[in-house]
Structure 1
Amino acid sequence: MWCLLGATGLSVMGNSIVAMALPWLILQRTGSATIAGVVGSAAVLPGLLSAMFGSALIDRLGRKLVSNGADVLSALAVAAVPIMDVLVGIDAALMALLVAIGATFDGPGMAARESLRPDVAKHSGIPLVKINAWGETVDSLGAFGGPAVAGVLIGIMGPANTLWLTVGMFLLAVLLVWFGVPRVPPRPQAREESYLRSVRTGLVFVLRDPVLRSVTLMSVIAMIFLSPIDPVFFPAYLQGEQVSPALAGLVLAAFPVGTVIGSLAYGVVAEKLSMRITLSAGLLLAGVGLALFVLTPPVYGMIALAVAVGIAAGPLNPIMATGLQQRTPDHLRGRVIGTVVALSGALTPVGLLAAGPVVDGFGAPFGFVVIGAGCALTALYCFFSKGIRQIDSEPQPSPGLPSATV
């Protein structure tokens, strides 16, 4: 268990550091924030496509192999940046290409590590819901610690040398999974159909299973409202309130801190709680907390409010991961997880495009009322959805597909 958690943390933190070091390197070379933004956006579409199409490899080749292969290929893609910079001098087009290549491996790698959690739970005897709570906690710690570590390393070593350190992190994650995680061979039926048909099988399974279909739709609705928080609403909100960059960083860091607390606390009591009720309550409380930012509290009140929102949201990802894993047959697990990840983020650009006009027309504080209303809408859907009502029950066979047991 600890090896999988360690590998997850290293891989997530490595990606977080890369996400900060690459734009920094571009700014050093070009001085253009626009080019840095274009390079950063090069990761979006490959990430979504690979989550759906690349994750079918997990069921065909095996979870450990895809997890390790993704980290090795990510390490090579990252290493190519400083190498090419020395050899030919890197420009925006080449950087965008390398970023897109690296992002292609992130989706299958993440899905493979999540697919390994039920295997680790079975091998260790630890309840799956606790493994998921700890796994999501590690994800939050990696995402939270990555930018802070990147800032220190870039200041000491420079962005190019910082990238070399992330190469080592990816390779260490490979070693932890290789030697510390049990291997489960892929089921024969995963190789009996063509590759595109296997991708379609994962999509059809998600759409036919009432719980998976409802959880995916819930995620789509939530992501439309939540995706603009970091890139749009909070920068405009904090600048409008004339919050210093240092304090603004503390406000933004408070969310993942609260998420870690919420995930860990949920892991302790998870088996005593209804997943459906906890999911609905978490969404509603997070929405109320976000809407309260319209009151523009003093900065330390913002930090406290951000921690509270993170705590309320902490159980959400562990619950969705557990419901997904419990509903999915072993030989479909990889492609189903990848499909849900891809579909959940499919309409994220809608939220990002709509956020700008909301801020320009009504102000950033009003944006948080919109986000809070979106969370409340998602909570209502979650509470009344016929599909999510079944998340706590034993899975039933989906028509025309194997029984959804793990």
Structure 2
Amino acid sequence: MSRAAPDRRPSRRPLVGLVLAQACSYTGTRLAMVALPWFVLTTTGSATDMGLVTLCELGAYTLARLLSGPLLDRLGHRVVSVRLDVVAAVALLCVPLLHARGLLAFPLLLVLVTVVGLATGPSETAKVSLTPFVAAATRMRVERVAGLTGTVDRFSQTVGPIAAGAVVATAGALHALYANAVLMVLASVVLTSLVPRSLGRTDAPPAAGGGADPPPRAGYLAQLYEGWRTVWGDACLRALVLMIMVTNLVDVAVMTVVLPVWVAGHGAGAQTVGLIAGVLGGASVLGAVTAAWIGHRLPRRATFFTAFLVSGPPRILVLALDVPLWAVLVVWGASGLAGGLINPILSAVLFERLPADMTGRGMAVVGALARIGAPVGAPLVGLAVGLVGTSPVLLVCAAVYLLATTLPVLGPAAAAMAAPPAHAPVRTPGSPSPPA
């Protein structure tokens, strides 16, 4: 009498590979955020040159992220990430090597940091876009995989800048760039070793034994437009993108302009800015861990919009009040805890509403649009603070944040979050079904 083969659990190697690769990549990015500006400051002494380096890198990052969607869907997310991490590592290595030989002219530095931005933009998009494919391959819920990767991101945002500052202070900016390049190579090696090459490919070959030929592939610009149309033509995605665009604009302006001004106005120093930001980031790590653990059991719509409401307006409003520092820390800690719940739910909604063959293009469009307003918000808010003062600007920022997070609740986007489209369960040809 034959015995039925036991149902084997799927391998967790792709999940481990994705999490480790993102940890290496994000840590390297945080190193570069500190090391590159400091290197420019110590070698040129020019704040203008620092601004040009940041503009070239972040401008190239945003542009490449917006335009790289068809490339991800054509070549595969894993392949793009592996190759472009190596490209970024080579460009980063060129900076200290050329500088040591006296060959690093400033225009050449601008070219190299532009290459870094052009490589890291699509590479980070590719890693994020692998989430639903890894979830399907490991038979895990998208919310849980997104929660784990979100925890890595939040943790790197909290610890990364502190560690980067320590490395730069003790070993120098050039050694930090060497470490950044090594981490990018490690990210590439980890994905190559643990994530199957076929994972994240949406151009599956036709079935054996004949069948209709696949339709001809559209041109690059046509595919790019198709990705834009897929995102912008979906009422739910459009509302979410607009909401995130506005809230990111306010968040960046508050963190980079208003918070330092508020701290200085209360007679404190830069360490207080770090303390407040650290409390926010540390609490967000706990929120992301909670989302990875029980996020899929929480009511999606209520949790998502409540988390946005708690994570934004209260921490902005508390700065407009005459309260002691401990009260500010409590409010910012609660806001961070709620903020950690947002990304896993948001990722699940995005991946449900994007067809499998549109994942790369859709995530590229969403990522670029979500960040497009942030560089504009800080100068505008800084000008407003100089004209009318900190408290009125904080009140306006809190009101804008509140409107951006409550208006979608009144429209069709909120209802659509709980009603995935018909294609949602099918993530890639031949992928196992997610658990019930």
Q: Does 1:57 align with 2:82?
A: no
**Where does residue 431 of structure 2 map in the other structure?**
none
Alignment correspondent of 1:305: 331
The match for 1:103 is 117
Conserved in 2, the CA contact under 8 Å of 1:279 and 1:382? no
Once the two structures are TM-superposed, the CA of residue 355 in structure 1 deviates from its matched residue by: 0.5
SS of equivalent residue, structure 1 residue 239:
helix
Report if the CA contact (8 A) 2:129-2:360 is conserved. Answer: yes
- Of 346, 349, 357, 1:331 maps to 357
Normalising to structure 2: TM-score of the pair? 0.87
Q: Is the contact made by 1:291 and 1:368 (CA closer than 8 Å) also made in structure 2?
A: yes
2:61 to 39, 47, 54: 47
Q: 1:139 aligns with which of 153, 173, 188?
A: 153
In the other structure, the counterpart of 1:86 is 100
Cross-structure match for 1:34: 48
What does residue 243 of structure 2 align with?
A: 218
- Mapped to 1, the partners of 2:186 and 2:352 lie a distance apart of 30
Structure 2 CA distance for partners of 1:86 and 1:181, relative to 1, 3 Å: same
Residues 92 and 310 of structure 1: CA distance in aligned 2, closer, same or farther (over 3 Å): farther
Deviation at 1:96, TM superposition (A): 2.5
Partner of 1:360: 386
Sort the Cα spacing of 1:142 and 1:270 in 2 relative to 1 into closer, same or farther, 3 A: same
- Residue 200 of structure 1 corresponds to which residue in structure 2? 225
CA, structure 1 residues 140+247, in 2 after alignment: closer, same or farther (shift >3 Å)? same
> Tell me, which stretches of 5 or more residues in structure 1 are unaligned?
398-402
Rate the CA distance shift 1:123–1:404 in 2: closer, same or farther, 3 A. Answer: closer
Structure 2 equivalent of residue 235 of structure 1 = 260
Partner of 1:400: none
How many Å separate the matches in 2 of 1:268 and 1:141?
Answer: 16
Q: Deviations over 1:289-333 (max 9, x none)?
A: 321121243333333222211112112222211111111111110
Give deviations 1:124-154, integer Å, cap 9, x for gaps.
Answer: 2221101111111111112222211111111
1:187 aligns with 2:187: no
Change (3 A) 1:106 1:190: farther
| C-alpha distance in structure 2 between counterparts of 1:113 and 1:148, whole Å | 24
Cα distance change, pair 299–97 in 1 and its aligned pair in 2 (3 A): farther
CA distance in structure 2 between the partners assigned to 1:352 and 1:132 by the alignment: 29
For the Cα contact (< 8 Å) 1:327–1:404, is it kept in 2?
Answer: no
Question: Given the two structures, how large is their TM-score scaled by the length of structure 1?
Answer: 0.93
Any conservation in 2 of the 1:330–1:405 contact (CA below 8 Å)? yes
Cα offset, 1:405, TM superposition:
4.5
CA distance in 1, matches of 2:251, 2:342: 13
- Structure 2's unaligned 5+ residue stretches are 1-14, 205-213, 428-436
2:295 equivalent to 1:270: yes
For the 8 Å contact 1:11–1:169, the answer to whether it is kept is yes
Structure 1 or 2: more helix by fraction? 1
Change (3 A) 1:391 1:219: same
> 2: distance between equivalents of 1:389 and 1:77?
46
Indicate the residue corresponding to 2:343 in structure 1. Answer: 317
Mapped contact 1:136–1:318 kept (Cα < 8 A): yes
Q: Deviations over 1:66-91 (max 9, x none)?
A: 11112111111111111221233434
Structure 2 counterpart of 1:230, which letter? M
1:170 aligns with 2:190: no
